[in-house]
Copies of this chain bind each other. A is one copy, B any other.
Amino acid sequence: MTSYWNDFPGMPEALEKVSGIINSSSASENPVIFGGLSAILNGDGKLLRPGLLVIASQFGSALKYNSEKCYHLAAAIEMLHVATLIHDDVIDDSPLRRGQPSVHTRYGKQNAVLMGDFLLSRCFILVSEYSSQEQALALARAVSVICSMEIEQNSDRYQADTSVRRYFKKIMGKTALLFSLACYVGAAEAKAPAASAARLRRAGYNMGMAFQIIDDILDYAGTAETVRKALGNDFKEGIVTLPLICALKMDRSGELKKLTVPGQFALADRGQVIALVRESGGIEAARNCAKKYTDRALREISLLPGGAPRDMLEKLTQRLLVRDY
């Protein structure tokens, strides 16, 4: 799991501690909860959000007194993330997650709903114990926005004529908010200067936007081996992402439009749609967009105080842009 972080000084050790806290904080005597959660929590997640929180905390002066606290908050933010993944997989009926059968596939949808709730409550327990009231509030607000955006995404299913603006709004809530919050919470709890904390918040936001766009690109442009799930999954679920939105704008033959009119969308052949999006240049257009957010993140990062934490953030941001899974 922490191999993703092998060339980031100190990070594998820090994230090992975070993983330990995640496991102990979500432990349960109930064999269903124990089995279901340990599979997903010890799967091959990259621990990006806790990693960001840990790095951001290194911009603060209070780190040496507070690294335990910071590891606990990093654990909480990953638990929140995983709770939303479990519920997302129930909602999208996804068979795989992190290269393993999803929780609801193994334990049923009923238990998956409850396990997500359980994990969310354990996350709030950690936050109540280890963070300031301000951060607890920010985290609760984040969950509320994440849910709202997921509900909007649900309402928008099979609507191919969505705007880029609306897409951005949804991925902000779905992904960028939590990246941004991880950076901000780490900085704020370690008492980083307000200017650095604000910059980290913006850097996290832009990284999160780029990250989600790349994720959405991989659903069209990846290979099933590297992505470790079937391609075209978003399309199949009726979720309209940036590559498709861009491709539709450049769809001169009108072929793609025909496949995505209301009533046809759900029936369209995934393979054909993927091919058309690729041919039309939708992938490149989306990739340019991800590049723009990455550049914005890099600019914010370049203005942070220099040193190992800044170098790590820069390297991470660049790596996320060129990832293939």
Residues of A that sit less than 8 Å from B by CB? 28, 30, 32-33, 84, 87, 90-91, 108-111, 113-118, 120-122, 124-125, 127-129, 133, 136-137, 140-141, 143-144, 147-148, 150-152, 154-155
Contacts and interface: CB of A to CB of B under 8 A. Distances in A.
A32 B111 contact: no
A28 B148 contact: yes
Given A124-B140, A136-B136, A154 B114 contact: yes
A151 B116 CA distance: 11
B133 A128 contact: yes
Given A90-B113, A114-B147, A115-B147, A140 B121 contact: yes
Contacts of A115: 147, 151
A150 B114 CA distance: 7
B30 A117 contact: no
Given A33-B148, A140-B128, A154 B121 contact: no
Contacts of A137: 125, 128-129
A236 to B, nearest CB: 15
Copies per assembly: 2
9 contacts: A28-B148, A30-B151, A32-B154, A32-B155, A91-B114, A114-B154, A116-B117, A128-B140, A129-B133
B124 A143 contact: yes
A158 to B, nearest CB: 13
Contacts of A33: 148, 151
Contacts of A152: 30
Central interface residue in A111, A144, A152, by most chain B CB within 10 Å = A144
A117 B114 contact: no
Contacts of A91: 109-110, 113-114
A136 B133 CA distance: 10
Contacts of A124: 124, 136, 140, 143
Given A32-B154, A118-B144, A118-B147, 10 more contacts: A28-B148, A30-B151, A30-B155, A33-B151, A121-B140, A121-B144, A122-B140, A124-B124, A124-B143, A125-B144
Most chain B beta carbons < 10 A, residue from A110, A117, A118, A137: A117
Given A125-B140, A141-B125, A154 B110 contact: yes
A159 to B, nearest CB: 14
A148 B109 CA distance: 15
